[in-house]
Amino acid sequence: MNIDWSATAAWIALVVAIISPIVTSIINNRHLSKIKKMEIIQQRGLAVIEEYISVTSREILITGVSDAYEKIYAKVFIYVPKSLHSQLEELNSLICDCGNTSFPDKEKCQKLLVKISQSLKYDTVF
């Protein structure tokens, strides 16, 4: 049996020409999907961090701990680097351990919150 190599090469080129755009499209769609998921996580993280800073700023000025603070305090650990966890815990202890009748040490809390905020500017997890 004699094989016609020119016809075989033409068929191979036809198959590759059909399959190549399909494979490229699948790869691009997966990549875009991953990027979109990362963008969504980043947006959520930024919203949580901004809310944490806002709620914590209010907590420094009031007596007692609000429900909003307790909820956001738990969420913020998901989005901040582990290197800041100890500072967050320290700030939380300053806010929560002041007792129900006294205010937190406002100056110390504000300094720590500013330090955390500045660190977040450079060390976000996303």
- Residue 9, domain member (yes or no): no
- Among 30, 42, 57, 31, which Cα is nearest to 116's? 57
| Ordered per-residue pLDDT tens for the chain, 126 residues | 788 889 999 999 999 999 999 999 999 999 999 999 999 998 999 999 999 999 988 888 776 778 888 899 989 999 988 999 999 999 888 888 755 556 667 888 888 889 988 888 766 555
Residue 23 resides in a domain = no
pLDDT of residue 51: 93
Which amino acid belongs to residue 37?
K
Domain assignment of residue 1, yes or no: no
Does 101 map to a domain? yes
d(CA 56, CA 70): 10
Instruction: Note the pLDDT of residue 20.
Output: 96
Residue 9, pLDDT score: 93
Asked if the structure places residue 12 within a domain, the reply is no
pLDDT value of residue 104:
66
- Please tell me the distance from the alpha carbon of residue 123 to that of residue 88, in angstroms, as a whole number: 14
pTM of the model: 0.68
Q: Does residue 108 form part of some domain? A: yes
Whether residue 59 is contained in a domain is answered as yes
- For 76, residues 6+ apart whose C-beta sits below 8 A from its C-beta are 48, 49, 52, 88
How much is the pLDDT for 106? 81
Range of the domain at 46: 38-122
**From the DSSP assignment, how many helices (H) and strands (E) are in the chain?**
4, 0
Q: Is residue 46 part of a domain?
A: yes
Structural domain count of the chain: 1
